[in-house]
Structure 1
Amino acid sequence: MSGAVQLRVCPERCLFDDPLRVQVSGLSPGQEVTLRTELTDEGGELFTSVGRYRAGSGGELDISRSPALEGGSFTGVEAEGPLWALEPQNALRRLVKKDVRSPMQLRFSLHQEPPGAVLATAVQERSFLGEGVSRLEVRDGRVRATLFLPPGPGPFPGVIEIPGTGGGLLEYKASLLASRGFATMALAYYNFEDLPKQMKTFHLEYFEEALNYMLQHPKVKGPGIGLFGHSKGGDLVLSMASFLKGITAAAVVNGSVANVGADLHYKDITLPALVFDPQRIKFPKPGVGDIRDVLNNPLEEPNRQSLIPVGRADCKLLFIVAEDDRNWKSDFFAQAACKLLEEQGKEKPEVVYYAKAGHYIEPPYFPLCKVSVHKLVSLPVIWGGEPKEHCFAQVDSWQRIQAFLLKHLNQESSSSKL
């Protein structure tokens, strides 16, 4: 050995969506080692990944330049491989952060190859609240939410983030967006406090209240608000953009162009939930369903009653589409939305497709969720995606969503200065 082995993980503390840098020194030239990464979620579930490496001629190792060898969780030069290749012990577990006030701790250990003695260890904290970001509980009228405000006097571009069918109040995306400069509301809409316990009937007036709260907030830059929704949150975002005023830009991640899961009411208008046929569930593995084809086609009668009239939307639209989404045909839905807007003479939205990405496109470096229990069909389903390609989609789309929102939410104030 050329000296004591040192394992350096940089930075020691960062936001969860920050890149990873791992370096090793003090190995023998050409020495083969194993890098093991562990993360324990809030429920005690252990996620692990393993990378196998060979040290350089100087006994050094930098995983942003050194290729991972065969036999581990990933191969090739993958700087963030230890993160995106994490897998749970329970195959049905999805990594979710519920309390953003505490960081997640990654534990790294370097082992002799073949696996043996531990040569070095390191720890990294990845947080969801940037320094100086404020977390404010919102209990205003019927609205149940959390508002995250960046440090400083503001005002800041405002965003409402709406999750999928899991219910409750999830804050990790909103807190990360606020850490990047957006005044972001994480909005609950069922199964939280005094909100409805089940996904049965929703009223768009509730979402309108949340929109008005943001429009009137002194720390939120007007004149309009941005929306950001995934899955069921995506069709709620499209419904808001189609019926409500004060929305400048809306980003939809693997969303539907039809109302799904529960009837939606607004004033004297009702969008019934799109009908699905459980007989169309396929079972690629015993007890694990593929539900991509269960929904009826919303472009055909009588299903058009569930179609969201996106041609009425006057805001800028961005669709993030995973081509291997097994939850539903998000690629078909995005194309249908484009057609509906074109029929009304509206500007074509921006659509970004990601090959081999699955349904749960999260902020960067969340591991791919391959299988978990679906809230509505009450059985384990596959979500699609390949880990490496899915990671690329998360990193790229996260940057695109921020750039899209920043561009259009700042556009009016920028124009007024010219």
Structure 2
Amino acid sequence: MQPDRPFWGLIKRDVQIPFVVELEVLDGHEPEPDLGKLQARSVHESHFLAPGVQRVPVREGRVRASSCRQVRHLLSSLVPYASGAGPVGPGPFPGIVNLFGVGGGLLEYRASLLAGKGFVVMALAYYNYDDLPEDIDIIHLEYFEEAVNYLLSHPQIKGSGIGLLGTSKAGELCISMASFLKGITGAVIINGSIANVSLHSLVGGPGIWGGEPRAHAMAQVDAWKRLQTNFHKHLGVKEGTIPAKL
């Protein structure tokens, strides 16, 4: 197998379409083009929107985001470029703002998965998307304050506080948001610095990180369960109501 683009990660861009992987078992290990007799074939689909969950675009003031929640309880005031998701029931539900780091754009795969676990999740873009700045030379905290206040003011959001989930550079932003903005009651930082740092561009070649794939996969499964448990605890969800699972 050869990648179409070496050293690029496999990232889901459209959460409304599942990942489809076709697996084949062949007889022997003959080199191409003669791969041997086909013994079995199976198609695996990975869905990012649970049954009943719908992506809703949001465009409110300067905020560009996406949110996912159950179709029967759509955030009625959400408008293009944000999406939200939540569990079945009358609500209200705990809210989370989800951000990613370097690269920008609007990434929704984590927000869409969390939406099926009992949360209303806003996947927030802050650069390199729509009419937002193309780079992050300057970041204004007021933009994130506007997004937090928007989510807090919605009637389907439970309690007086929301959670933050940030990776890499966005982890630093989440620390700043939790430190200086009101209405933040929980935060999960993944691979982020404890302080805001400058960005270092890699020029002339790819950046390769070592490690063991199996150990990394196990760590991601563990982190996925732990972040759900953390948000259930700090956002006022009764313990055990929504199990932390894949």
With normalisation by structure 1, the TM-score equals 0.50
Supply the distance in 1 between the matched residues of 2:59 and 2:232 (Cα, whole angstroms): 27
Supply the distance in 2 between the matched residues of 1:91 and 1:193 (Cα, whole angstroms): 27
Residue 192 of structure 2 aligns to which amino acid in structure 1? G
Residue 231 of structure 1 aligns to which amino acid in structure 2? S
Change (3 A) 1:134 1:151: farther
The answer to whether the Cα contact below 8 Å between 2:87 and 2:119 also exists between their aligned partners in 1 is no
The answer to whether the Cα contact below 8 Å between 1:162 and 1:230 also exists between their aligned partners in 2 is yes
Supply the distance in 2 between the matched residues of 1:125 and 1:254 (Cα, whole angstroms): 28
Match of 1:157 in 2: 94
CA displacement 1:93-113 (0-9 Å, x = unmatched): 210111111001011111113
Supply the distance in 1 between the matched residues of 2:128 and 2:195 (Cα, whole angstroms): 22
* Alignment gaps of 5+ in structure 2: 31-35, 70-85, 240-246
Residue 220 of structure 2 aligns to which amino acid in structure 1? Q
Supply the distance in 1 between the matched residues of 2:225 and 2:159 (Cα, whole angstroms): 22
CA displacement 1:199-235 (0-9 Å, x = unmatched): 1101001000110011111221112100000000100
Supply the distance in 2 between the matched residues of 1:405 and 1:88 (Cα, whole angstroms): 36
Match of 1:113 in 2: 28
Supply the distance in 2 between the matched residues of 1:392 and 1:123 (Cα, whole angstroms): 24
Q: Quick check: 1:131 aligned with 2:59?
A: no
Aligned residues with identical type, % of pairs: 52
Q: CA deviation at 1:156?
A: 1.4
Match of 2:66 in 1: 146
Q: Which secondary structure does the structure 1 equivalent of 2:160 belong to?
A: strand
Q: Give the number of the structure whose residues are more often strand, by fraction.
A: 1
Of 123, 142, 154, which residue of structure 2 is paired with 1:217?
154
Match of 1:410 in 2: 236
* Alignment gaps of 5+ in structure 1: 1-47, 49-86, 263-275, 277-375
State how many pairs are aligned: 216
Map 1:258-407 → 2, pairs under 5 A = 258-261=195-198, 376-378=201-203, 379-407=205-233
Q: CA deviation at 1:408?
A: 1.2
Q: Which secondary structure does the structure 2 equivalent of 1:190 belong to?
A: coil
Residue 104 of structure 1 aligns to which amino acid in structure 2? F
Supply the distance in 1 between the matched residues of 2:21 and 2:119 (Cα, whole angstroms): 27
Residue 162 of structure 1 aligns to which amino acid in structure 2? L
Q: Which runs of 4+ in 1 moved over 6 A?
A: none
Q: Which secondary structure does the structure 2 equivalent of 1:170 belong to?
A: coil
Match of 1:206 in 2: 143
The answer to whether the Cα contact below 8 Å between 2:162 and 2:183 also exists between their aligned partners in 1 is yes
Supply the distance in 1 between the matched residues of 2:196 and 2:180 (Cα, whole angstroms): 13
Of 161, 171, 175, which residue of structure 2 is paired with 1:238?
175
Q: Relative contact order (C-alpha < 8 Å, sep 6+): which is higher?
A: 2
Q: CA deviation at 1:114?
A: 3.7
The answer to whether the Cα contact below 8 Å between 1:199 and 1:261 also exists between their aligned partners in 2 is no
